[in-house]
Structure 1
């Protein structure tokens, strides 16, 4: 059994700016958890190397890169140090996993690692050869690279079943290739089968707890992720991401008080680490939890904090999404439709984020009695969907198509076309049901299935409305709107 070494941060470092991407770097924790990854590098760099691996496992990529750069500065022949630098540019679970703007740097580090591997151990060479699948060649697409890496890590894990790190890195490689459209969660379940026994044997390993939460971040599997969610913040209590990540499970289970505590702590830690993306990400989850638990005043307070933040990079999806979604959540959840109708798209934001604001405006127009103007916003969403599809962003293209159908459904309802309203919203709900949410969001502003219940209730169909609300709650327990709808439908049956 590999002996585990308690890893502490040697000093508090300032993380460099994160690359623009769907998620974000989470700062430098002071306490990282138990990690032991033995290497043939100089003994003097072993603690620093373990620290770098622990940072990888908490997605503190800029700090991890700095740690590994320190390793190779002290031991230039350390092949695994260059492996670590390259791995800090690979972001499994996030999108994109292989950021284009850092690919060349990562590829160069992978080549140095391969050149130095002649003096490394067979175990180390196996890791470096797997890394080559990510960064070798010239023309392979990112999806092919991450799949080849997963297959290579499967071999590393199979050949050395006692190597805890091999099992952990293989598990997260599985998650990096889990299709958002696979509602059977096959790869997630495969990862859970690896991680569950490891979690019992190594309860203070940050990667095991962290990746279990990601693997279980679905309505089907969330309950299985609760033990890891209860533990991860204790493993790395100074890491903003470790403080936030449990709320993915708490949100799935409707445990709003737990989610609020988690994200209050994460928001504070992220601000202290100057981690803007981590801060606004936690704030979005916090607003969502406040709204579902009826704490509207506290939600407005968080939005007030957001408005006081300046210099936010709206080109960066990881910032633009929560910054745009938070105030829209509050307006739409409270049904302030005249206000929603005045919402303007954020300047400079990615098209997938602009779509949220266009949707909110369309919803406000439709639900305040302006169906033709609402349909104009739906047409704009159709154009954004086509733009995203042309750009190869199939996931957000699908989601934008759902938003367009929702606006069209409410416009039809406003015009008195009841059957079209139900058909459009049913189609939106079925399409939304077929894909999982991205980690960037606690959930849709309002799930389509919940909106279907609202339309059916407005049409005085309490039975079908109740069925829609019940299904919505099975997918997102504890949502306030669905609970209100369920109660109203039961009262009018």
Structure 2
């Protein structure tokens, strides 16, 4: 349960000894309902949506007049606010009905009625009002709640969450994130066991230039709420951004196991994608291969009809199932393996695009022009479908992939200037957006691909600039470190070459004994110094 002293929640185990952190959201409900409500909010803060809905319903069972519980149900039904893409219509209908029940129930205080009115903004006229407009309306409504009830920590927290979740990926000032972070950081000092504060700090700073700010929260979140699978996974977002690969692996091994126990299979797949990404950066290919081999068994337990469960919804499950095989081939530059991947149609076309991208890049690197062209056509068709469905974020991500395959296909056919122009366009598009939280990173960063292309055409000095820029954004990437070392070596910059080769060996300290050729080369290069 959660006890309160001086208005701040004190951490105690919840029912059955579960550890979800310390949360207190004051309500006008009776004592029994309040306990259930606090537990449900703790679950909500760790994106345990199915369990939080059950908790809010338990509060209603204890006190039928606890109208604010419908706010919690409606917000839980919105699910993960950081997943780009249009919400499921059935999900939206249920959320609107819950918000309307909250209004009809007549919450007892003006503050509670304000929360219910705010969450309704997410669902009002969803058939015609664009999702982004509704999200911004919710953000603005929560701004009013937070301003009016300045001493209400939960109002400040949910407002900060709305700020971070609604920020435009193209806004490189990070104004919304920084404003949210200032709110969350201050409150985290006052409530160091609050799961939402640790969780949302990680999300808020989940961009390259801000990621290190989240390290204290990342190192504590799994200890705050170990009984929430997502709390085990979320630290790896920060560890991935900062190149702490072994920490990311440990985080996701624990997260996948916890998600499996809770039957949150999409979350298990999501954690597995982050896990395999970290294995591949550290050349732990045997571990990555074992995880890849486990996918059919995990997929057999994945039910895409389960929309509301944990943080990972159906799209996250489909994403991981497509991403992991593509990563395994591309990160190891197994072009034949990449070119032979089989696209799987899903309700989320951008997941299919990942396979077409891997196929196309593999074919282009093998100089198989017809196969590369087939992938380009498929990517263009997927991009157009996404644009027609107003899935603009994902349409742009697929456009980047399309440009990259076009660039390498052009290079394979000897059209060097066209190849460089296409790659430059891909770099510019990627620099103007942000990765989604659903992925640890692009299958192949655009600047990294540009660096490899420049090496191919014997421009090592320019290649080094691209690899170095990649490492600024994504520290510790295997291919960028090796590319930088090789580019420096070929351009006569011995000092830089040694630096990057040594960094590669440090990153790969846990690499398989049967090391990749790049690691053997790095060992030779540094031993001769």
Q: Is 1:303–1:326's contact at 8 Å kept on the other side of the alignment?
A: yes
How many angstroms apart in 1 are the aligned matches of 2:241 and 2:12? 31
CA distance in 2, matches of 1:354, 1:128: 38
Which of 141, 158, 176 is the equivalent residue of 2:130? 141
- Take 2:219 and 2:278, find their aligned partners in 1: how far apart are those partners? 17
Q: Distance in 2 between matches of 1:35 and 1:480?
A: 41
The equivalent residue for 1:6 is: 11
Match of 1:285 among 271, 274, 284: 274
Is residue 322 of structure 2 the alignment partner of residue 327 of structure 1?
Answer: no
User: 1:196 and 1:281 mapped to 2: Cα distance?
Assistant: 27
SS of match in other structure, 2:21: strand
Q: Which residue matches 1:132?
A: 120
Cα distance change on mapping 1:98 and 1:356 into 2, 3 Å = closer
Q: In structure 2, how many angstroms separate the alpha carbons of the residues matched to 1:340 and 1:301?
A: 18
Indicate which of 486, 490, 493 corresponds to 2:488.
490
Instruction: Name the CA distance, whole Å, in 2 between partners of 1:7 and 1:426.
Output: 54
The question of 1:111 aligning with 2:100 is answered yes
Please give the secondary structure, in 1, of the residue aligned with 2:207: coil
Matching residue of 1:183: 172
| Partner in structure 2 of residue 312 of structure 1 | 302
Q: Give the whole-Å Cα distance in 2 for the aligned partners of 1:85 and 1:350.
A: 26
Cross-structure match for 1:447: 445
Instruction: Say yes or no: does 1:302 pair with 2:305.
Output: no
Residue in structure 1 matched with residue 457 of structure 2 by the alignment: 459
- In structure 2, C-alpha distance between the alignment counterparts of 1:193 and 1:438, rounded to whole Å: 22
User: Separation in 2 of the partners of 1:274 and 1:182?
Assistant: 37
Q: Distance in 2 between matches of 1:33 and 1:459?
A: 55
Q: Residues 69-116 of structure 1: CA distance to partner in whole angstroms, max 9, x if unpaired?
A: 111122111111122211211232223575421222222222222233
* Whole-angstrom distance in 1 between the partners of 2:453 and 2:84: 34
Report whether the alignment pairs 1:58 with 2:46: yes
RMSD of equivalent CA atoms: 1.6
Task: Please give the per-residue CA displacement for 1:27-52, whole angstroms capped at 9, x wherever unaligned.
Answer: xxx21100011111111211100001
What corresponds to 2:149 in structure 1?
Answer: 160
Partner residue, 1:79: 67
In 1, Cα distance between equivalents of 2:55 and 2:296: 35
Matched, 1:199 2:197: no
Q: Secondary structure at the match of 1:4?
A: strand
Give the CA deviation at 1:317: 1.7
**More deviation in 149-158 or 463-472?**
149-158
Q: Is the 8 Å Cα contact of residues 32 and 59 (structure 2) preserved in structure 1? A: no
Residues of 1 paired with 2:347 and 2:109: CA distance?
Answer: 47
Structure 1: state its 5+ residue gaps: 13-29
Between 417-426 and 391-400, report the one with greater CA deviation. Answer: 417-426
Partner of 1:32 in structure 2?
Answer: 20
Question: Residues 457 and 155 of structure 1: is their aligned pair in 2 closer, same or farther, counting only changes over 3 Å?
Answer: same
Can you list the C-alpha shifts for 1:452-487, whole angstroms capped at 9, x where unaligned? 000001111011100000111111111000000000
Of 378, 387, 393, the match for 2:391: 393
Query: Per-residue deviation at 1:372?
Result: 3.4
Aligned pairs, how many? Answer: 475
Matched, 1:254 2:259: no
Segment drifting more, 106-115 vs 413-422: 106-115
Secondary structure of 1:88 counterpart: helix
Deviating beyond 6 angstroms after TM superposition, the runs of 4 or more aligned structure 1 residues are none
1:427-451 deviation per Cα after TM superposition (whole angstroms, max 9, x unaligned): 1111111110111100011101100
Distance 1:32 1:312 in 2: 25
Identify the residue that residue 221 of structure 1 maps to in structure 2: 210
Secondary structure at 2:78 match in 1: coil
Structure 1 residues 308 and 81, CA gap change in structure 2 (3 angstroms): closer
In terms of mean alpha carbon deviation, does 315-324 or 164-173 score higher? 315-324
Map 1:348-387; keep pairs closer than 5 Å. Answer: 348=346, 350-387=348-385
Return 5+ residue gaps in structure 2 as ranges: 1-5, 306-313, 492-529
Q: CA deviation at 1:147?
A: 1.2
User: After the TM superposition, which residues 397-436 of structure 1 pair with which residues of structure 2 at under 5 Å, given as runs?
Assistant: 397-436=395-434
- Worse-matched range after superposition: 44-53 or 376-385: 376-385
- Native 8 Å contact 1:229 1:247 kept in 2: yes
SS at match of 1:182: coil
- Give distance in 2, aligned partners of 1:51 and 1:301: 37
Q: Is the 8 A contact 1:89 1:99 kept in 2?
A: no
Q: Specify whether residues 303 and 416 from structure 1 end up closer, same or farther in structure 2 by C-alpha distance, changes over 3 A only.
A: same
* Pair 1:137–1:274, CA change in 2 (3 A): closer
Aligned-partner Cα distance in 2 for 1:489–1:3: 55
Residue number among 148, 168, 171 corresponding to 2:160 in the alignment: 171
Question: Is the CA contact 2:292–2:325 (under 8 Å) kept in the aligned structure 1?
Answer: yes
Distance 1:378 1:280 in 2: 28
